[in-house]
Amino acid sequence: MDKFRLDGKVAWITGATYGLGFAYAAALSQAGAKVVFNARHADAIARALDEYKELGIDAYGAVCDVTDEKQVELFVADVKERFGTIDILINNAGIIKRIPMTEMSVEEWNQVINIDLTGPFICSKAVIPDMIKKGGGKIINACSMMSELGRETVSAYAAAKGGLKMLTRNICSEYGKYNIQCNGIGPGYIATPQTAPLRKRGSDGSMHPFDRFIRSKTPAQRWGTPDDLCGLAVFLSSPASDFINGQIIYIDGGILAYIGQDPSNLDESKLKTVEEDSSVQVSDR
Ligand code: NAP
Ligand code: GCO
């Protein structure tokens, strides 16, 4: 089971002040890694550092926008100065804009593409040379259902996540010979701040239509939680996955395998929203 451990490794999780990134960082730390992270807002980083400390995690965090190559270069140099290397990169930072395509401005389109696709390119480019020098490394990209499927209002996000799937395969193709494994985590619908608008109950207390819809598309009839993804994040960061490369592993509760059922078949009395289900840990920061 030592193959699943990360002792002695330095892991950089981008966008880990809350949401999935925070969960990944906590899980990799529990598996033995030293975790470092970045995001755009100093106050959120300070709050996250306190929350990591409450979990007994000695994380390191600094302001760095993944779309700014200079900031990324400085962040990587800072981490190497402090901790010697970066063995694992999880390209987690991402945003979504839910706007009908014909109403989306080019600026809005570019903002999503820059963060969700160009950011992983910039961060991967910053760590691969040292991974080559030291004989290998792990890069994990935050893919999505939208790496495979489209839906209304998320054109830029789907284009970015589809592109990220192919960037994952291309890093595998170009750098696999250096013992660098690049894979993707493809979550389904997970309860985080990014998806909170899709779960918010109506003023009359009714379930959000999208909440009902996505449960009818998920065999488990529930949203995923960040904790559901942590085992896969540790696995893909560990020596246990050294011969897995270029794969997008979907962790979606079965969405991609299921045609779905009529949402009206769901008994709403049995369906709590994630925020109401005390058994579910929701990353609500
Ligand atoms: P989230 O709750 O919105 O968190 C996003 C994180 O990224 C925050 O820490 C945010 O901090 C950071 N970030 C955003 N833009 C950044 C930038 N330019 N530079 C550095 N950090 C940046 O999102 P999430 O739900 O945890 O999702 C995390 C990743 O998983 C995203 O790539 C998302 O597309 C993907 N994903 C999510 C789901 C889901 O259902 N939640 C499913 C599939 C895939 P700041 O804003 O302070 O910078
Ligand atoms: C949306 C959601 C999704 C999830 C995730 C699904 O508006 O459809 O935000 O895009 O974030 O990417 O895998």
For residue 39, pLDDT beyond 60? yes
* Ligand 1 site, CB within 6 A: 14-15, 17-21, 38-41, 44, 65-67, 92-95, 115, 119, 142, 144, 187, 189-190, 192-195
Q: In the chain, pLDDT over 70 holds for what percent of residues?
A: 97
Give how far the C-alpha of residue 226 lies from the chain's centroid of Cα atoms, to the nearest Å: 9
Angstrom distance (rounded) from CA 126 to CA 268: 48
**Residues in contact with 259: Cβ distance below 8 Å, sequence separation at least 6, in sequence order:** none
Q: Give the strand order in the sheet containing 248-251.
A: 60-63, 34-39, 10-14, 88-91, 137-142, 180-187, 248-251
Closest CA to 245 of 154, 195, 172, 143: 172
pLDDT single digits (tens) 155-199: 999 999 999 999 999 999 999 999 999 999 999 999 999 999 999
For residue 279, pLDDT beyond 70? no
Instruction: Give the pLDDT score at 285.
Output: 45
pLDDT single digits (tens) 70-117: 999 999 999 999 999 999 999 999 999 999 999 999 999 999 999 999
Catalytic residue among 18, 52, 60, 157: 157
pLDDT single digits (tens) 211-226: 999 999 999 899 999 9
Of all helices (H) and strands (E), which one includes residue 142?
strand 137-142
Q: List C-alpha distances in Å: 225 to 47, 50, 117.
A: 21, 22, 24
| 157 has catalytic annotation | yes
Instruction: Give the pLDDT score at 269.
Output: 79
CA-atom Rg of the chain in angstroms:
19
pLDDT single digits (tens) 126-165: 999 999 999 999 999 999 999 999 999 999 999 999 999 9
140: tokens are 């994990």
CA end-to-end span of the chain, whole Å? Answer: 33
Closest CA to 191 of 277, 284, 253: 284
**Residues in contact with 169: Cβ distance below 8 Å, sequence separation at least 6, in sequence order:** 246
> Counting atoms of ligand 2 from 1, which one is nearest the CA of 189?
6
pLDDT single digits (tens) 7-36: 999 999 999 999 999 999 999 999 999 999
Instruction: Give the pLDDT score at 272.
Output: 76
From 145, 151, 211, 249, give the residue whose CB has the most ligand 2 atoms within 8 Å, as the site to mutate: 145
For residue 282, pLDDT beyond 70? no
> Hey, what amino acid is at 215?
R
